[in-house]
């Protein structure tokens, strides 16, 4: 794709929206910029800023008693949508009409070619590199394609920053399925990289290029759900906050998303799906199949007593079962209720919360999305755990780039909170 700005519907649509968002925010700041959102205690400053309200994110929110709500719409009402529709919703705040989504999808399809040098970079990496390291490396290597960096160099007006940011976002989002699928095939010796199909949609082409489960319609349906369910989770989680902090320095989308994905690769964030399935399979192996509830209780305590967390359970914000987990559970109950791994996931849901409730320090005993997502992929033959965070990242590219476009449009300043030293706290406390 040639560099340069192209005006398509999504740009026009956003142009109008941005004017409204800006004047709304201006009014709010005039009226209430001194209103207090949060006070920060010493405990919160030492405690990962948990519960401190200090960010604005309009693409989605996560109320602790409801879970993911995208642009005002609960996830459960969006589980039959496509990632293209969801991306449009994240960016504009509206679900697209049939014509709008056709136009938007066609635009994404035109941008999906991955330059040859990306494959050469990936091939040069050590054969045992983590798939997330490969994804981040590929994204950073693509940075030279940034339209924002080029336009900034030329001296683009501040009000127009969002346009090349959107251009970069669409380009990167369009390419990510091919990059991710190529990484899968290279890293796990699956044979040659499978060429893109110019006519396939975002999900279909990803499934096609992974080259597993043939043309299994159910697998495609699962991937569509997976890519919708993981798309965004408000602004304060590690990958979102990192992406937006980097982006606020006017680094382009490639730098920003690669940085955010480095955070997603951590075991307390996006790597937990891999940890969760690993734990389930180890348990099943040890017990010789689908365990009983009594056996699971013992395994839960064995894990806890050895100082480990129960992967897939607990959440920094949520205080109910994650609706994303519920969506996967429903999918499994419909499509493969007798799969032994899925049955174990289902049983764990009956067992784990009751046990975690007995530990008072754990604020949320309920499952998060990672308690089920790995088992879903596993059922269809995607059994390489270390790849799971990459599938998560493919989906999360939607929300993180949408947040970055909105932040650029709103001309949000560089993020720069203030830190203090321990001796400052000593003086304060004494
Ligand atoms: C997600 C997670 C990191 C949230 O952490 P948090 O906001 O600090 O959660 P809490 O406030 O409830 O944690 C309080 C304590 O309970 C522990 N805890 C929380 N969830 C736990 C779990 N699933 N198993 C065992 N202990 C858990 C914490 O480790 C912490 O212990 P500490 O004080 O000794 O460090 C945490 O629940 C966790 O590690 N879960 C397992 C990993 C996971 O599923 N991650 C995916 C998140 S989407």
Q: Are residues 378 and 235 in the same domain?
A: no
Which amino acid residue places its CA nearest to atom 26 of ligand 1?
Answer: 309
Determine the distance separating the centroid of ligand 1 and the alpha carbon of 107, expressed in angstroms: 41
**Do 304 and 311 contact (CB within 8 A), yes or no?**
no
As to burial, measured by CB atoms within 10 angstroms (0-12 exposed, 13-18 middle, 19+ buried), residue 143 is: middle
User: Mind giving me the DSSP string for 8-68?
Assistant: -HHHHHHHHHHHHHHHHHHHHHHHHTT-------HHHHHTTTTT-------SEE--TTT--
Residue 2 has pLDDT above 50, yes or no: no
CATH number at residue 302: 1.10.230.10
Q: Are residues 247 and 98 in the same domain?
A: yes
Q: Are residues 288 and 209 in the same domain?
A: no
Average pLDDT of the segment spanning 268-273: 84
Catalytic residue, chosen from 269, 298, 322, 339, is: 269
Task: Tell me what pLDDT residue 133 has.
Answer: 98
Determine the distance separating the centroid of ligand 1 and the alpha carbon of 316, expressed in angstroms: 7
Q: Are residues 97 and 207 in the same domain?
A: yes
Determine the distance separating the centroid of ligand 1 and the alpha carbon of 275, expressed in angstroms: 14
Q: Is the CB of 364 under 6 A from ligand 1?
A: yes
Q: How far does Cα 365 stand from its chain's mean position?
A: 22
Which amino acid residue places its CA nearest to atom 32 of ligand 1?
Answer: 361
Structure tokens at 350: 């009956």
21 within domain boundaries = no
Q: Is the CB of 370 under 6 A from ligand 1?
A: yes
**Do 88 and 399 contact (CB within 8 A), yes or no?**
no
Cα dist from 202 to 142, 179, 223, whole Å = 19, 12, 10
Which amino acid residue places its CA nearest to atom 40 of ligand 1?
Answer: 314
Residue 213 has pLDDT above 80, yes or no: no
Determine the distance separating the centroid of ligand 1 and the alpha carbon of 138, expressed in angstroms: 31
Collect all residues with Cβ–Cβ distance below 8 Å to 380 and sequence separation of at least 6.
212, 213, 216, 218, 219, 222
Q: Is the CB of 315 under 6 A from ligand 1?
A: yes
Structure tokens at 419: 């830190």
Q: Is the CB of 162 under 6 A from ligand 1?
A: no
Q: Are residues 359 and 325 in the same domain?
A: yes
Write down the residue that tokens 């993981």 correspond to: 230
Determine the distance separating the centroid of ligand 1 and the alpha carbon of 321, expressed in angstroms: 14
**Do 295 and 347 contact (CB within 8 A), yes or no?**
no
Judge whether 335 counts as a catalytic residue: no
- For the chain, give the mean pLDDT: 95
Task: Tell me what pLDDT residue 345 has.
Answer: 96
Cα dist from 377 to 78, 311, 326, 380, 388, whole Å = 20, 17, 16, 6, 8
Q: Is the CB of 49 under 6 A from ligand 1?
A: no
Q: Are residues 292 and 246 in the same domain?
A: no
Where in the sequence is the domain holding 249, given as residue range(s)? Answer: 58-268+386-409
More confident residue, 429 or 268: 429
Determine the distance separating the centroid of ligand 1 and the alpha carbon of 55, expressed in angstroms: 23
Task: Tell me what pLDDT residue 216 has.
Answer: 84
27 within domain boundaries = no
Q: Are residues 362 and 400 in the same domain?
A: no
pLDDT tens string 73-87: 999 999 999 999 999
- What's the start-to-end Cα distance of the chain, in Å? 62
Residue 394 has pLDDT above 80, yes or no: yes
Return d(Cα 139, Cα 145) in angstroms, integer.
10
Lowest-pLDDT range of 42-56, 155-169, 265-279, 357-371: 265-279
CATH number at residue 393: 1.10.580.10
Q: Are residues 297 and 405 in the same domain?
A: no
247 within domain boundaries = yes
Collect all residues with Cβ–Cβ distance below 8 Å to 185 and sequence separation of at least 6.
191, 192, 193, 194, 209, 210, 211
299 within domain boundaries = yes
Radius of gyration of the chain (CA): 22
Residue 131 has pLDDT above 60, yes or no: yes
Q: Are residues 258 and 330 in the same domain?
A: no
Total count of domains within the chain: 2
Task: Tell me what pLDDT residue 272 has.
Answer: 81
Average pLDDT of the segment spanning 356-377: 96
**Do 193 and 182 contact (CB within 8 A), yes or no?**
yes
Return d(Cα 387, Cα 295) in angstroms, integer.
29
As to burial, measured by CB atoms within 10 angstroms (0-12 exposed, 13-18 middle, 19+ buried), residue 235 is: buried
Q: Is the CB of 268 under 6 A from ligand 1?
A: yes
Return d(Cα 334, Cα 81) in angstroms, integer.
18
Collapsing DSSP to helix, strand or coil, 73 comes out as strand
**Nearest Cα to 253, choosing from 410, 401, 108?**
401
Q: Is the CB of 361 under 6 A from ligand 1?
A: yes
Judge whether 77 counts as a catalytic residue: no
Helix, strand, coil share of the chain (percent; to 5): 60, 0, 35
Number of H helices, E strands in the chain: 19, 3
pLDDT tens string 84-105: 999 999 999 999 999 999 999 9
Return d(Cα 328, Cα 303) in angstroms, integer.
24
Average pLDDT of the segment spanning 199-205: 97
Q: Are residues 257 and 330 in the same domain?
A: no
135 within domain boundaries = yes
Judge whether 315 counts as a catalytic residue: yes
More confident residue, 1 or 61: 61
Q: Are residues 395 and 284 in the same domain?
A: no
15 within domain boundaries = no
**Do 114 and 178 contact (CB within 8 A), yes or no?**
yes
Helix or strand run (H / E) with residue 70: strand 69-70
Task: Tell me what pLDDT residue 3 has.
Answer: 53
User: Mind giving me the DSSP string for 313-371?
Assistant: B--SS--S--HHHHHHHHHHHHH-TT-HHHHHHHHHHHHHHHHHTTSTT-S--SB-THH
157 within domain boundaries = yes
Q: Are residues 232 and 305 in the same domain?
A: no
């Amino acid at each position: 794709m040639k560099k340069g700005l192209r005006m398509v519907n999504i740009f026009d649509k956003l142009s109008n929206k941005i004017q409204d968002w800006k004047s709304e925010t201006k009014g709010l700041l005039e009226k209430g910029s001194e209103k207090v959102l949060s006070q920060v205690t010493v405990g919160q400053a030492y405690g990962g800023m948990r519960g401190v309200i200090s960010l604005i994110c309009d693409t989605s929110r996560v109320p602790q008693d409801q879970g993911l709500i995208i642009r005002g719409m609960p996830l459960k009402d969006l589980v039959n949508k496509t990632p293209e529709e969801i991306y449009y919703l994240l960016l504009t705040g509206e679900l697209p009409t049939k014509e709008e989504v056709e136009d938007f999808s066609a635009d994404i399809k035109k941008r999906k070619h991955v330059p040859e040098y990306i494959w050469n970079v990936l091939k040069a990496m050590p054969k045992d590199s983590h798939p997330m390291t490969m994804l981040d490396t590929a994204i950073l290597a693509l940075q030279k394609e940034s339209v924002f960096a080029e336009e900034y160099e030329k001296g683009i007006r501040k009000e127009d920053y969002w346009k090349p940011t959107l251009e970069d976002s669409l380009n990167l989002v369009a390419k990510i399925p091919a990059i991710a699928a190529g990484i899968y095939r290279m890293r796990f010796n699956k044979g040659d990289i499978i060429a893109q199909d110019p006519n396939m949609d975002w999900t279909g082409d990803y499934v096609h290029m992974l080259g597993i489960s043939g043309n299994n319609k159910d697998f495609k349906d699962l991937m569509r759900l997976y890519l919708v369910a993981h798309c965004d989770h408000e602004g304060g989680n590690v990958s979102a906050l990192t992406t937006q902090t980097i982006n606020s320095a006017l680094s382009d989308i490639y730098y920003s998303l690669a940085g955010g994905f480095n955070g997603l690769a951590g075991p307390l964030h996006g790597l937990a799906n891999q940890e969760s399935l690993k734990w389930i399979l180890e348990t099943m192996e040890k017990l010789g199949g689908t365990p009983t509830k009594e056996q699971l209780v013992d395994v839960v305590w064995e894990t806890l007593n050895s100082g480990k967390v129960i992967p897939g359970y607990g959440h920094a914000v949520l205080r109910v079962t994650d609706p994303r987990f519920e969506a996967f559970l429903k999918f499994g109950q419909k499509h493969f209720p007798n799969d032994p791994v899925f049955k174990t996931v289902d049983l764990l849901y009956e067992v784990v919360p009751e046990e975690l409730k007995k530990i008072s320090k754990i604020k949320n005993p309920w499952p998060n999305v990672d308690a089920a997502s790995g088992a879903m992929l596993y059922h269809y033959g995607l059994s390489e755990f270390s790849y799971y965070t990459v599938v998560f990242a493919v989906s999360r590219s939607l929300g993180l780039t949408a947040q970055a476009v909105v932040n650029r449009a709103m001309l949000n300043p560089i993020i720069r909170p203030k830190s203090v030293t321990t001796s400052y706290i000593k003086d304060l406390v004494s």
